[in-house]
Chain A
Amino acid sequence: KQEVTQIPAALSVPEGENLVLNCSFTDSAIYNLQWFRQDPGKGLTSLLLIQSSQREQTSGRLNASLDKSSGRSTLYIAASQPGDSATYLCARMDSSYKLIFGSGTRLLVRP
């Protein structure tokens, strides 16, 4: 069974800290790896998408990396802010456009 695991399940950090969220997957035959943000009671907002041929993507204070050989992706958030508080989800896409999601990391950035 294809699985996606996110560690830690929850994280609390003081404002300004740099942090790393981890995502691991069991099948290296992925087409892309996507990171989403979800605010309480809302839908998902796409943050970054890394194609299988790429190693990383950057958007502002966010950087996501992909290592297919080890089945890992990381989301790096620089200089965290209280507004970054949310649940972060990673998902791998297979050839049929289906996404398989991890359970998420719930992030709290304390002022």
Chain B
Amino acid sequence: DVKVTQSSRYLVKRTGEKVFLECVQDMDHENMFWYRQDPGLGLRLIYFSYDVKMKEKGDIPEGYSVSREKKERFSLILESASTNQTSMYLCASTPASGGLIQPQHFGDGTRLSIL
């Protein structure tokens, strides 16, 4: 079974802090994704990556950056956290080969609160 692990289930940070959210997958998947989920807005794609060192902007990249130094790890960075970034953050992965016929596998999410 694919395992996608997000380093923290709950995180509380202060406005202006630099925040790192980590995601690791154990199935050698090329594609990795970061979403945020908010009531009434659903899941929205922040950034995604097709391979190491590669990154693509999703629908709402403003205020975020990402890092993919190793294939198994995809980090989401909040450069200067703001209260409107309080949300549930979800990481997902899928293989490049067969990625159109295999589902995305999700981690359990990180609930981030910015005070």
Contact = CB atoms under 8 A, between A and B. Distances in A.
Contact of B42 (A97, A98, A102): A102
Contact of B100 (A31, A46, A103): A31
Contact of B31 (A49, A91, A97, A101): A97
Interface in A15-61: 31-32, 34, 36, 41-46, 49, 51
A104 B100 contact: no
B104 interface: yes
Interface of A: 31-32, 34, 36, 41-46, 49, 51, 89, 91, 93, 95-99, 101-104
Interface stretch (B66-74, B79-87, B105-113): B105-113
B43 interface: yes
A8 to B, nearest CB: 15
A103 B101 contact: no
Given A32-B100, A95-B100, A97-B99, 20 more contacts: A31-B100, A34-B103, A36-B103, A41-B111, A46-B105, A49-B101, A49-B103, A51-B100, A91-B43, A96-B56, A97-B48, A97-B50, A97-B94, A98-B33, A98-B58, A99-B33, A99-B43, A99-B104, A101-B42, A103-B41
Interface string B21-62: 000000000010100000011110100101000001010000
A86 B101 CA distance: 25
Interface residues of B, number: 27
Interface of B: 4, 31, 33, 40-43, 45, 48, 50, 56, 58, 90, 92, 94, 99-109, 111
B24 to A, nearest CB: 14
B42 A42 contact: no
Interface centre among A34, A44, A96, A104 (most CB of B within 10 A): A44
A47 B62 CA distance: 31
A34 B94 CA distance: 13
A51 B102 CA distance: 9
Contacts of A104: 42
B90 A93 contact: no
